[in-house]
Homo-oligomer: A and B are copies of this chain.
């Protein structure tokens, strides 16, 4: 049964140094508030898993929380590079970052295999790509009926998965809709899970066959309205595309990044305060100065 609890307590009790942690959300419903809280609580040596590491992982990597990254596409969607990710890979700042690199198909199947309690995922994949040359976790197996060669990769089994969703009810059952990405699989593949939600309601009013995660399959549900910002929650908020653009100059320099993280994350108590500070510091066009 999920505990309905403040995000600070959920991260404090469920995310531990050295854990394998997946924050999932495919453009939609990215759990930014939870990412901030992990930074605030200064978790170390995390193995971060995510199909599409974007701003949320740029922040965690830049703040030195990550030892390793398992991923399939790392960038600032619609803008360009992730400067903190690149700085870690290209120049080992703030320290060396080990990477294990897959394709989306590989990662998606690895989450499915994890949710299914299988040790590996089976797919047609990676053929002709150089990825198997640099990733020893991409192997090949033979079909016992046809002899065909198929790709095999280890399941993703995070210690903790964190997602953001639209609604929970008072028992902690969670409903999400729209672009679902791999969130259900990521939660079910994990030992523990945290779900931040836009609102807590008496009745989910879920349509038939909706994506509902029952309370008893979750560890903690936290009420964090707008907790996906600058990502969005369909039915609640729009994606703040400007924030993604403004992130580029912020993340370009180490000092600018550290100053921004201190002001907006380390020196704020929670996501609501972050949003207030952000509103003060970034009128139109001011983010660049803020990051400089």
Q: Does A279 contact B (CB under 8 A)?
A: no
Q: Count A-side interface residues using an 8 Å CB cutoff.
A: 29
Contact of A118 among B119, B150, B154 (CB under 8 A): B150
Which of A62-70, A136-144, A269-277 lies on the face that meets chain B?
A136-144
- Mask, A122-156, CB within 8 Å of B = 1, is 11100000000000010111011110101010100
Q: Shortest Cβ distance from A75 into chain B, in angstroms?
A: 26
> Which residues of B are found within 8 Å of A144, using beta-carbon distances?
120, 139-141, 152
Q: Does A284 contact B (CB under 8 A)?
A: no
Cβ-defined contact, B119 with A148, below 8 A: yes
Cβ-defined contact, A143 with B120, below 8 A: yes
Q: Does A211 contact B (CB under 8 A)?
A: yes
Contact of A207 among B140, B141, B207 (CB under 8 A): B207
Cβ-defined contact, B124 with A117, below 8 A: yes
Q: Shortest Cβ distance from A218 into chain B, in angstroms?
A: 19
Cβ-defined contact, A139 with B150, below 8 A: no
Q: Given A139-B144, A145-B154, A154-B145, check contact A178 B120 (CB 8 Å).
A: no
> Which residues of B are found within 8 Å of A13, using beta-carbon distances?
none
* CB-CB contacts below 8 Å: A162-217 with B: 177-178, 180, 207-211
Contact of A208 among B123, B139, B140, B210 (CB under 8 A): B210
- Copies, count: 2
Q: Shortest Cβ distance from A111 into chain B, in angstroms?
A: 15
> Which residues of B are found within 8 Å of A148, using beta-carbon distances?
119
Cβ-defined contact, A208 with B177, below 8 A: yes
Closest residue of B by beta carbon distance from A146:
B119
Q: Shortest Cβ distance from A144 into chain B, in angstroms?
A: 5
Which of A124, A148, A209: most chain B Cβ within 10 A?
A209
Q: Shortest Cβ distance from A243 into chain B, in angstroms?
A: 25
Closest residue of B by beta carbon distance from A208:
B177
CA of A208 to CA of B235, assembled, Å? 11
Cβ-defined contact, A145 with B119, below 8 A: yes
> Which residues of B are found within 8 Å of A120, using beta-carbon distances?
143-146
Q: Which residues of A contact B (CB under 8 A)?
A: 116-120, 122-124, 137, 139-141, 143-146, 148, 150, 152, 154, 177-178, 180, 207-211, 234
**23 residue pairs from A and B, CB less than 8 Å apart:** A116-B123, A117-B124, A118-B123, A118-B124, A118-B150, A119-B143, A119-B146, A119-B148, A119-B150, A120-B143, A120-B145, A122-B122, A139-B144, A140-B144, A141-B141, A145-B152, A177-B209, A178-B208, A207-B207, A207-B208, A207-B210, A208-B234, A209-B210
Nearest first, the 4 A-B pairs at minimum CB distance are A207-B207, A177-B208, A119-B143, A139-B144
